[in-house]
Amino acid sequence: MDLETRLSGVRETIARAAERAGRSPDEIEILPITKGHPASLIQRVAAAGLAAVGENRVAEAEEKQALLGSTGLRWHMVGHLQRNKAAKALQLFDVIESVDSARLAARLQAVAQVAGLTEVEVLAQINTSGESAKSGFDGERALDEIGRMCELEPLRVDGLMTMAPFTSDEAVLRRTFAAVRDLLDRCRREIDRFDGTVLSMGMSNDFEIAVEEGATRLRLGTVLFGERA
Give the residues of the chain that fall short of pLDDT 70: 1, 129-134
Report the DSSP beta bridge partners of residue 74. 52
pLDDT computed for residue 141 by the predictor: 86
Q: What is the dihedral of CA 141, 142, 148, 150, to 10 degrees?
A: -170
Cβ count near 36 (within 10 Å) = 15
What are the boundaries of each domain within the chain?
3-221
Q: How far is CA 23 from the centre of its chain?
A: 20
32, 21, 91, 23: which is closest to 59 by C-alpha?
91
* Strand, helix or coil for residue 54: strand
pLDDT computed for residue 128 by the predictor: 77
28, 57, 30, 52: which is closest to 42 by C-alpha?
52
Q: Which CATH superfamily is domain 3-221 in?
A: Alanine racemase (3.20.20.10)
pLDDT computed for residue 131 by the predictor: 61
Question: Quick one: DSSP state of residue 192?
Answer: T
pLDDT computed for residue 193 by the predictor: 92
Q: How many CA atoms lie within 13 A of 198 on its CB side?
A: 24
pTM for the predicted model, two decimal places:
0.95
Question: Quick one: DSSP state of residue 25?
Answer: G
Phi then psi for residue 160, to 5 deg, are: -125, 155
